[in-house]
Structure 1
Amino acid sequence: MPVLIISGPVGVGKTSVAGEIFDQLIARDISHAVIDLDNLGLCWPFGEEDPYNDRMAMRNLADVWRNYAAAGVERLVIARVVETRDELAAYRAAVPGADVVVCQLMADKQTLLGRVARREAGSSQEALARRAVELADSLAKSDVADIVVSTADRELTDIALEVLRTAHWIESD
């Protein structure tokens, strides 16, 4: 089962790129589903020693995936930060037979902070800005990515098409 995880720091465009991938795959009549995994973990209180509610998100991913698989979905795109290769075991457990490719989106810190400032007007803006910088630094040093794609100063469609081509989900035009 092909699984494409769109990862990267806060503000890099994971959700937007995943949405454009959805549209591009529809245009090519390729069966797929897109999940913004952050939304599957939005509940309070978080699990003990689980600051990003990963365990809840993974339990929900397994349940949602079963429904998609029963409907005949043949590919899965997930938007979610992946910081280490060790985390991929949980994805493989939630999606049996998953052939996981991690695409790390990247942008310079100024771009990330600008996007966070525009997108997050609420009380979490400052924390998300700090997290964006923290993740940009840690992901730059990690070996989790199979594919790395820049999002700064680029059109969304171009980014999504590069991700899909590099992951070998579509052919080059």
Structure 2
Amino acid sequence: MDQPEVLLIGGRAGVGKSTVGWEVSARLRDAEVAHAVIEGDFMGYVHPAPDGDPHRAGITERNLRAVWGNFAELGYRRLVYTNTVSVLAESASLFERAMGSDVRIFRVLLTATDDTTARRLKGRELGSELEREMANSVYKARLLDERVPADTVRVATDDRTVMDIAHEVVAATGWLRTG
């Protein structure tokens, strides 16, 4: 397979993107499917934002291009990428510039209720960011619900095991097909 492919796992804070992304990786590893994983939040995590770029898009793209270039040089063609808004249509150009114009994109939006995400965030955010994360999570849930492309696969995470969710996410790619 020469065409690069990327599985974008998006969703609000507290929905389980990172956890599901790592479980997807475990499933792929067990099936001996070559792939790389990038936690997209870390691609642009700097302060202050460089060159007046409040969304840090420029540094994110530079880092993604560099990291993916290293993976591609070693022969990898599949990427699992987790980031809240990566599933939005406008993100496609970022992946085309970083991975090549022929990149095949799979979008999965993880969803959960406000109560579920609030419970998860309270268990995870032990510092000063809890209130900000909770408010941002509600805002991003509405934004994503309204703006994801129609071909995005939506996967509910409420009251489900991470293994069950990852199974559904991997199925959206066809990466585990045999024959």
- Among candidates 139, 153, 157, match of residue 134 of structure 1: 139
How far the C-alpha of 1:74 sits from its partner, in A, is 2.1
How far the C-alpha of 1:48 sits from its partner, in A, is 4.7
Distance in 2 (CA, whole Å) between partners of 1:70 and 1:98 is 15
1:169 is matched with 175
- Partner secondary structure for residue 148 of structure 1: strand
- Partner secondary structure for residue 17 of structure 1: helix
CA contact (8 A) 1:7 1:81 kept: yes
2:35 is matched with 32
- Among candidates 89, 94, 100, match of residue 98 of structure 2: 94
- Partner secondary structure for residue 84 of structure 2: coil
TM-score (norm 2): 0.90
1:70-113 deviation digits (Å, cap 9, x = unpaired) = 11112001001226312211121111131111100000011111
2:126 is matched with 121
Tell me the matched-pair count. Answer: 172
Q: Which has the higher mean CA deviation after the structures are superposed, 114-123 or 29-38?
A: 114-123
CA contact (8 A) 1:116 1:129 kept: yes
What's the RMSD between the two structures over aligned residues? 1.6
In structure 2, stretches of 5+ residues that fail to align are: none
1:56 corresponds to 2:83: no
How far the C-alpha of 1:49 sits from its partner, in A, is 4.9
Identity of aligned residues (%): 32
Q: Which has the higher mean CA deviation after the structures are superposed, 77-86 or 96-105?
A: 77-86
